Structure 1
Amino acid sequence: MSADRLASRWVGLVLVAVTAVATLWLATTGRLDLYVHPRYTVFVVVMALLALAAAIAAAVLLSFRDEARTHGHGGHGHAHDGHLHGDDHGGDGPRRRAVTRIAVATGSAVLVAVSIAALVLAPPRTLSVSAAAARADSVVGAVQGASDPSGDPSGYTVKDWSNLLRQGRDDEVIGQRTQLTGFVQADPDDPDSFALSRFVITCCAVDARPTSVTVYSPGWSSSLRVGDWATVDGTFAANPSVLSMSSVALLPSSVVPVDEPSDPYLQ
């Protein structure tokens, strides 16, 4: 079988198998949540197992079929090969075909290698601050699919407080004390404020949207950098800033830099 036909037949199966193995590896290492909502973890793992089983079965069937063809048509194949050699005498056909086969085989090998490196070797990372800035423009009103928070306000997340503020329920927020963890974004309007943000994931990382609350903390940039994670303990109040677009801000009693949490996304 020619190299180009061999490549076209097997590269797809190899890529399916690599993707399935990478998905299972992410699941066993607890990193699949960086890509999909936890409610879909079981579904994704089952689909990956089915894809891997299908790729293995297809590879076995193709191997048996190739072997059967080799044994069943060996004589005819030799005669055909002889005819081809006779047709190509004195021409550049064999050379061109050889170059094409080498190029296809090399390209296929590179594609498989890059896919393996991207899916397995490259460490999974959370969405970046630049992604939050880019996606913020697409967020209108409260986070889609979010319900009104209930229970003890001390357990509210960045998403909960942000939704209440986006709904104009400032009176319910002002005076509330809370402790929140998120990553730091600069306030484009006020250098004395920053946004404490988290990504909210509905299905997978593709649909993740940022949500945030404004923290009024003059001089914050001396101890924090954009993109750092921090835990802020404070009380919501009318924003004392005359520059910020937020009417309510979290006035911190403490701002402590922390490591990125193991579950960086909110659901």
Structure 2
Amino acid sequence: MSELLSRWAGLALCGIGLVATLALAAAGDLTLYIHPRYVVFTVLLSIVGAGLFAAAVWVTATGREGAHDHDRPATGRESDDDHDHDHDRPAPPRSYRTLSSVVTGALVIASAGALLVAPPMTLSAERALSSASAVDGGGDVPRPSLVGSDPTRFSVRDWASILGSGATAGDLIGQQADVTGFLLIDDAGAVRVGRYAVTCCTVDAQLFAVPVVASDLREDLRSGDWVRVTGTFTDDAGATRLSPATVDAVEEPDAPYLS
């Protein structure tokens, strides 16, 4: 069993990754993990990888990668080192081999479950609440101009960058916001509506969030619910927050990340 796992575990993990990637692409869910601009590149690379994977399976199955000098006909000129270089090496303890087999098998099974069985999911509100979130857009997002623009077309990221630049409720009088995102309700009861932006993949995902007046929120809504919020900005206890006129529960968008 130990020898079997050592020969096939790596290939099994590669195969699981290839199947998962191509299955996500076929279902249109690959954008839950990478930016849409990289989908075609990822699929093409996976197809090339599938060809290399098939070749690797063939080589492993036929044992060509394990060719050894002992398989060559004897010439009568072999030195003792040609025969003893492996046999003098002590075998690892049986307990070590058993533990290694168990860990390797568990890794393969866990990978198959995570990539092939578990349904694809977007980054969660729990992740956002457990990490530092930037309502100012991280300082690297240009602030959209309110002059000559339709603010109802601004995204959560746009409003987050505007608020992060120091805009107050007084600066935003008469500006109507219309944003869609998921609710973030922390342990203190503070409410935000947020959304992730992805530059390359979910590893570099950045949260953008806009604070909302908690008292104006419907009681049946929970953290993580996707909502569409319309309203205006107001001064709430010295902080600029979005005061909702309407809050409607919506389905998670097909493209949940801002790009």
- TM-score normalised over the length of structure 1: 0.75
Task: Mark the runs of 5 or more structure 2 residues left unpaired by the alignment.
Answer: 75-89
Greater mean alpha carbon deviation, residues 139-148 or residues 226-235: 139-148
Q: When you count helix as a share of all residues, which structure comes out higher?
A: 1
Shift of 1:164: 1.0
SS of the aligned residue for 2:137 comes to coil
Shift of 1:265: 1.3
Distance in structure 2 (CA, Å) of the matches to 1:39 and 1:165: 29
Shift of 1:118: 0.9
What residue in structure 1 maps to residue 142 of structure 2?
Answer: 147
State how many pairs are aligned.
238
Amino acid at match of 1:201: V
Distance in structure 2 (CA, Å) of the matches to 1:110 and 1:264: 32
Shift in CA distance, 43/67, structure 1 to aligned 2, threshold 3 Å: closer
What residue in structure 2 maps to residue 186 of structure 1?
Answer: 185
Shift in CA distance, 103/143, structure 1 to aligned 2, threshold 3 Å: closer
Task: Summarize deviations over 1:77-113 as a string: whole Å, max 9, x none.
Answer: xxxxxxxxxxxxxxxx99x76x776665555443322
Shift of 1:122: 0.7
What residue in structure 2 maps to residue 51 of structure 1?
Answer: 49
Q: Percent identity?
A: 36
1:223 counterpart = 2:227: no
Shift of 1:216: 1.9
Shift in CA distance, 103/225, structure 1 to aligned 2, threshold 3 Å: closer
Shift of 1:160: 0.6
Shift in CA distance, 132/74, structure 1 to aligned 2, threshold 3 Å: same
Greater mean alpha carbon deviation, residues 22-31 or residues 54-63: 54-63
Shift in CA distance, 67/15, structure 1 to aligned 2, threshold 3 Å: closer
Shift in CA distance, 165/45, structure 1 to aligned 2, threshold 3 Å: same
- TM-score normalised over the length of structure 2: 0.77
Task: Mark the runs of 5 or more structure 1 residues left unpaired by the alignment.
Answer: 77-92
Greater mean alpha carbon deviation, residues 3-12 or residues 52-61: 3-12
Distance in structure 1 (CA, Å) of the matches to 2:181 and 2:103: 43
Distance in structure 1 (CA, Å) of the matches to 2:185 and 2:105: 44
* Alignment RMSD: 3.2
Structure 2 residue aligned with 1:159, among 157, 160, 172? Answer: 157
Shift in CA distance, 34/144, structure 1 to aligned 2, threshold 3 Å: farther
Amino acid at match of 1:34: L
Shift in CA distance, 147/43, structure 1 to aligned 2, threshold 3 Å: farther
What residue in structure 2 maps to residue 255 of structure 1?
Answer: 247
